Structure 1
């Protein structure tokens, strides 16, 4: 038996598939396809909050410099305000690096629900639903390889 994918709740082997707590023999899967489901707005909102957290210190720093240049204050006050604004803007750089890493990870997770479906005994069955694009791709490719390598009558995975 060949194992194509093994995860905490998914197992794809040369003899069958375990997804969603149910076992299926490869021969039971008459057709396999994937579908892109609804958008997960929570992921999009989280990504927006991260971008806002990156931009906010830069905007505050720019406002500080702008105020320092616009108001009619002493030279010392102008230098302090402009210097403070620049320091706040520069302080955002290390924070931005960390936050951009989180933004990258949010794109890896995706913002759409991705689903793997199969036709089993004439009924369409949802095998897997996730927003994790990388995990979805690994599982779907493993399922494709398992079905392609299965000696029973061919019914390769199709996209709908």
Structure 2
């Protein structure tokens, strides 16, 4: 069984093959999403049916792809605004985001394309979006454009 068989037609991750997905595996996917993202981003092998396999299936779903694309667009818009959209949000690194707009556009186009994506590429994107000390956010460091291109290459 591939991890793709764990994705329901509406984009939710669930078993379509009639196999039972344990509540424990579902709970682990939610509780340890960050750890699973890290494991997948570094190329950990996915065994179908376990929590990491469920997480990989969730990452490659249409719903997750749209969510990541929407967040990237929002970050791009926020970088061009003089005031943050919401004061409670972490400020983006405006110069890095503006410099990487070409890469952001390419990633968003790839996420909206009908071609399948890899869990590794999606995990790299999610780590980039959730790392408050990374190059996307004001207090972070690193090469945003390079990391986006690396994630795009893995997609």
The structure number with the bigger radius of gyration is 1
Q: TM-score range by the shorter chain?
A: under 0.3
TM-score under structure 1 normalisation? 0.23
Structure 1 or 2: larger strand share? 1
Structure that is richer in helix per residue: 2
Which structure exhibits the higher relative contact order, with contacts defined as CA atoms closer than 8 Å and separated by 6 or more residues?
1
